[in-house]
Amino acid sequence: MTQDELKRQVGQAAVEYVLAHTGAGVVLGVGTGSTVNCFIDAMAPHRDRFQGAVSSSLASTQRLEHHGFTVIDPNAVTSVPVYVDGADEIDPRGNMVKGGGGALTREKILASLADVFVCIADASKRVPVLGGFPLPIEVVPMARALIERRVRALGGMPTLRANPDGTAFVTDNGHQILDVRGLTVGDPLAFEQQVNAWPGVLTMGVFALQRADMGLFATATGIETVRFG
């Protein structure tokens, strides 16, 4: 199966999970990325079952609205029964690296609202230890150089994320992203807490405080379901 086929397969599996585990009239939590796009597309025929959706990015909001979903401000909800999102890496305990699409801060906000965080991905995203994928850090622009120095002191190699035309990438929140290579994250929770405490960091792409509760992983032989303790 191609990677696109695997993404469609796991997107459909997530639809089946959500329909089986939520009642009518709830608010659906929706993440960002190409795999989540497959989930949104597959969920579209069932949109009238939901009160609406909260979305982690402008891109997902536009796709949801295109399919006729009502997109709700997260400030208007106290919780969502399930949040569905992808991952750039996920370890055996459900800790993840996310933010390849630049929506990491909003993704953490929605994950913290969710009763159940379901990670959807192809099986290649499963790793024994986080750090192979560059670690995103969303920073206030005036703190970029400060954060770069702190990352280098840990042994990391930070690069300012850029658009194809060479200009600095700007998140939906108006900030910049440093992508950090060369770090192995043996203790995701401690590392996330350490970097989040640096002045000028909005958030960073290790999801340990908001790790996945379960994973749906597409393989050549079908969907593998993993529940993280």
Q: What would the mean pLDDT of 205-211 be, rounded to a whole number?
A: 97
85 is in an annotated binding site: yes
- Above 90 in pLDDT, residue 217? yes
Q: Which of 89, 107, 138, 148 is catalytic?
A: 107
Task: Tell me the domain boundaries of the chain.
Answer: 3-127+209-227, 135-205
101 is in an annotated binding site: yes
Q: Kindly state which CATH superfamily the domain 135-205 is placed in.
A: ACT domain (3.30.70.260)
Q: Which residues contact 4 (CB under 8 A, 6 or more apart)?
A: none
- Rounded percentage of the chain residues whose pLDDT exceeds 70: 100
32 is in an annotated binding site: yes
Provide the sign of the torsion angle of the four alpha carbons 211, 58, 174, 167, taken in this order.
positive
Asked if CATH classification 3.40.50.1360 holds for the domain at 3-127+209-227, the reply, yes or no, is yes
The Cα–Cα gap between 220 and 229 comes to 26
Amino acid present at 229: G
Q: What is the pLDDT of residue 1?
A: 80
135-181 pLDDT tens trace: 999 999 999 999 999 999 999 999 999 999 999 999 999 999 999 99
> How far, rounded to the nearest angstrom, does the alpha carbon of residue 146 sit from its chain's CA centroid?
26
107 is catalytic: yes
Q: What is the pLDDT of residue 219?
A: 95
